[in-house]
Amino acid sequence: MSTMHKPSTFALLGLATLSLSVSCRNQPKPSENTAPEAARAPASVAPPASAAPPAAPAVPLASGPHAAAEQPYPGQDQSVGKWVEASAYKFKVTNVVRCADPAPGEPVPEDRKVRVGAFVQVYSKFDQFFLTPRDVTLEKGGVILNSERAAKPGPECKPLLEPTRVMHDQTHGGVVIFQIPDESFLKDGAVAFKPTRWGGAPRVEIKIAEVVAARPGGKK
């Protein structure tokens, strides 16, 4: 009768150790095949920096509130009957007359009961040049009188200047009415014009020596 021998404990341990050793030898070394992804990837090359555009030269700023304002062309005759020219227009006062006294009951300032009319003309160098009586003032010694827009003068001080848009190379005119203390106010005074719509357009003025026409009836 044959006897079967069971493997001893030491034999089993030896086989397990041998198998583990063979497995470890077959594993690849980290330095050979499992290098980190970052190590295998080529280093990125930064693109060359483009040259910065040259800085624009600084533009000096105008100083003062009226530094950018134009001036009328120099050397002009600024008397009644003469054109005074600027870049956007020409301005002329053809006459200054004494108008008929205001009608009874017509409201006028208590200290300015004398009515005069300035005949003005404007030649435009642009299309749609807006012209209005409020752009015309009567000035003397720092006193500025605005035009009277509700006045009802007689025929000697008509047609009145009406607000309008003047086209290129066109001339428009009319009478602008003022109430003054007396006729002496006009001596050494000036009729001034400053278009409100054209911010860069200059102010011009026409010098007045005196009233150059009598009111109706031949009275001064």
Token pair 């280093």 in the structure block, residue: 43
pTM: 0.64
pLDDT at 172 > cutoff 90: yes
Could you tell me the CA-to-CA distances from 132 to 119, 140, 165, 168, 194 in Å, in that order?
Answer: 13, 21, 9, 17, 10
Report pLDDT digits (tens) over 109-149. Answer: 889 999 999 999 999 998 999 999 999 999 999 999 999 98
Cβ atoms of 201 and 88 closer than 8 Å: yes
Residues 27, 33, 35, 41: what is their CA dihedral angle, to the nearest 10 degrees?
-160
Which tokens go with 217? 């009836």
Residues in the chain: 220
- Domain map of the chain by residue range? 84-208
β-pairing, 89-98 with 114-124?
Answer: antiparallel
Q: Tell me the mean pLDDT in the region 56-79.
A: 53
Give residue-wise pLDDT tens across range 146-161: 999 888 899 999 999 9
pLDDT, position 149: 87
CATH assignment, 84-208: 2.60.40.1240
- The residue with greater pLDDT, 56 or 200, is 200
Helix (H, G, I), strand (E, B) or coil at 120: strand
φ, ψ (nearest 5 deg) of residue 48: -65, 135
